[in-house]
Chain A
């Protein structure tokens, strides 16, 4: 880790201490908004905007929670969030690994070209598609239906890419050939041989997809038109009204939205970060 650790001079020591200080300060700045989110979730508005603003937990979380469930269909939105995330993740794992397997393990005509197309679609700025996508969903009558959000995301380019990379590195071609000689059909090879071997990569892709879906906003906001079908980020934003905004309640809802991801991240930070950077860098 230490590039020139052999020469620990006084200057080096100071530099090191300065480095620690800098990192600590940066970490503090990064964590502070999360901290205040949790603190504000336990205070009433008058306290949040009073002087001095609260820096420690209060006792109004329950009140805030009550306001939240009274003003919005909170758990319904939460369930919508979860449902969308699961419905996006499971098919994505299947279709991405299937396609990744094909690109990694088969020789077929146009393979390189098809793969290049997939990578090229990553360059299309997604928000530009928002309006035509809405029109399409409107045209086929899928407004207000969750499938409008998860069906198009079933086979994402990034997922296929990650899967291909992993399968290339983790599965020897000989294994596939052996399975074929044993009489496995191509799909059986995928299902019985490949899938069990790529579990770590599936885990990473699953996490990435789940988090991405959990945080979705712009397209959900456009496609889901009723409170029963909206996801939590969309519904939380509607609380930010023109009058009488209960910021304590909003912070409580935000905390409950962010919390599961913080927990997931705490458990799988390394895996996630490696997956995300390798996906970004190699493409």
Chain B
């Protein structure tokens, strides 16, 4: 290739060859450089996705042997959509999506505001602490919480018992130790874990948005005599809308796919509270790898996909217009 620049000593045929190569590589380099992504995406992303669409209309279990699918039309979809276990899992997912999602943002927004207002030098350190759970393995987190959720002498129950002796708070808390691993309680436990894990992430997102708000706005408001709360209410919150839209979208997409936390807390489906806590993705996983109904599992994936689409659309309706308007 060096020769192409310094062609003098080379015979004429070599010149044209080298120049051709030089032209060729210059022209096609960008395509070659971006091609790995597209090749990998076609093979490991698009092909499986399309294949799962095809699979969702087939009945197949791996022991039938590769390729021996049986076309069953919409049966997988009608089965799933009339399956009480699926709907229970969907209810669990929506419940968890809401009760583990909303608190994250209700905590993260004021938290980010407070961090921005009161912290100077130690800001990075404090945010890093809050952010720590986000980079920690979900399996590790679920295993840790598994021990903290012990009914007798579990750290969480002991803390609740302690809070119970306080005035006012005690009215809202149960008197007895909570058994976190019942059909009726497991969802609260999972939600707690998810809130703990992802609030820091949202705080970081909101903080970066708050930092982008021009200081002059606050200064002008302060001159006009606006209190801290008023500044938060009338400057920060409205300007945070685009970020809220974005962060809530991420939470929706993430929470609808919740898998590892319930999977570990429910001992892979072996827990007696499995029905009360398993999410759609976990149900899909078990349909595929425990009951080996690959076609049905594929249909569950697509139904969930449509659900995520609808929720994202609704979020778009709620936040989207203003978010884009002010972005």
Interfacial chain A residues near B30, Cβ < 8 Å: 102-103, 106, 108, 111
Interfacial chain B residues near A49, Cβ < 8 Å: 147, 150, 152-154
Question: Interface-forming stretch among B35-43, B75-83, B181-189?
Answer: B35-43
Q: Do residues A16 and B118 form an inter-chain contact, with CB atoms below 8 A?
A: yes
Interfacial chain B residues near A168, Cβ < 8 Å: none
Docked Cα-Cα span, A88 to B194, in Å, equals 27
Q: Do residues B257 and A269 form an inter-chain contact, with CB atoms below 8 A?
A: no
Interfacial chain A residues near B200, Cβ < 8 Å: 30
Q: Of B29, B51, B209, which one neighbours A136 at CB under 8 angstroms?
A: B51
Interfacial chain A residues near B43, Cβ < 8 Å: 136, 152
Q: Do residues B132 and A131 form an inter-chain contact, with CB atoms below 8 A?
A: no
Counting contact residues on chain B (CB < 8 A from A), the size range is 35 or more
Q: Of A50, A154, A217, A270, which one neighbours B153 at CB under 8 angstroms?
A: A50
On chain A, the number of residues with a Cβ less than 8 Å from chain B's Cβ atoms is 102
Interfacial chain B residues near A127, Cβ < 8 Å: 257, 259, 281
Question: Residue-by-residue, is A69-109 near B (CB-CB < 8 Å gives 1, otherwise 0)?
Answer: 00000000000000000000000000100110111001010
Q: Does A31 contact B (CB under 8 A)?
A: yes
- Interfacial residues of chain A within 120-134, with CB under 8 A of chain B in the complex: 121, 123-134
Interfacial chain A residues near B228, Cβ < 8 Å: 4, 12, 15
Q: Do residues B256 and A19 form an inter-chain contact, with CB atoms below 8 A?
A: no
Q: Of B123, B132, B140, B243, which one neighbours A1 at CB under 8 angstroms?
A: B123
Interfacial chain A residues near B44, Cβ < 8 Å: 133, 136, 151-152
Docked Cα-Cα span, A133 to B49, in Å, equals 8
Q: Do residues A233 and B137 form an inter-chain contact, with CB atoms below 8 A?
A: yes
Docked Cα-Cα span, A160 to B35, in Å, equals 12
Q: Do residues B37 and A95 form an inter-chain contact, with CB atoms below 8 A?
A: yes
Q: Do residues B136 and A215 form an inter-chain contact, with CB atoms below 8 A?
A: yes
Interface centre among B2, B118, B301 (most CB of A within 10 A): B118
Docked Cα-Cα span, A240 to B266, in Å, equals 10
Q: Does A280 contact B (CB under 8 A)?
A: yes
Interfacial chain A residues near B218, Cβ < 8 Å: 3-4
CB nearest neighbor in A for B111: A26
CB nearest neighbor in B for A190: B33
Q: Does A48 contact B (CB under 8 A)?
A: yes
Q: Does B175 contact A (CB under 8 A)?
A: no
Question: Interface-forming stretch among B98-106, B282-290, B315-323?
Answer: B282-290
Interfacial chain B residues near A247, Cβ < 8 Å: 146-147
Docked Cα-Cα span, A252 to B48, in Å, equals 38
Q: Does A29 contact B (CB under 8 A)?
A: yes
CB nearest neighbor in B for A261: B135
CB nearest neighbor in A for B249: A123
Q: Of A114, A125, A180, which one neighbours B305 at CB under 8 angstroms?
A: A125
Q: Do residues A218 and B259 form an inter-chain contact, with CB atoms below 8 A?
A: yes
Q: Do residues B40 and A185 form an inter-chain contact, with CB atoms below 8 A?
A: no
Interfacial chain A residues near B138, Cβ < 8 Å: 215, 217
Q: Do residues B37 and A126 form an inter-chain contact, with CB atoms below 8 A?
A: no
A interface residues, Cβ below 8 angstroms from B: 1-4, 6-7, 12, 15-16, 19-20, 22-23, 26-27, 29-34, 36-37, 40, 48-53, 95, 98-99, 101-103, 106, 108, 111, 114, 117-118, 121, 123-136, 138-139, 151-152, 154-155, 157, 160, 180, 182-183, 185-188, 190, 211, 214-215, 217-218, 222, 233-234, 236-237, 240, 242, 247, 250-251, 254, 257-258, 261-262, 265, 269-270, 272-273, 276-277, 280-281
Return 20 A-B CB contacts under 8 Å, by A number: A4-B222, A15-B118, A23-B114, A33-B148, A37-B140, A106-B29, A125-B256, A126-B257, A127-B257, A139-B66, A151-B44, A155-B36, A182-B5, A183-B4, A186-B26, A190-B33, A217-B260, A218-B259, A270-B124, A281-B205
Instruction: Add 16 more A-B contacts to A114-B38, A233-B140, A265-B128 (CB < 8 A).
Output: A4-B219, A37-B144, A49-B147, A138-B62, A138-B66, A183-B1, A183-B6, A217-B137, A217-B260, A222-B289, A236-B139, A240-B264, A277-B204, A277-B205, A280-B250, A281-B208
B interface residues, Cβ below 8 angstroms from A: 1-2, 4-6, 22, 25-26, 29-31, 33-34, 36-38, 40-41, 43-45, 47-49, 51-52, 55, 62, 66, 107, 111, 114-120, 123-133, 135-141, 143-148, 150, 152-155, 158, 196, 200, 204-205, 208-209, 215, 218-219, 221-222, 228, 231, 243, 246, 250, 253, 256-257, 259-260, 263-264, 267-268, 270, 281, 284-285, 288-289, 294, 297-298, 301-302, 304-305, 308
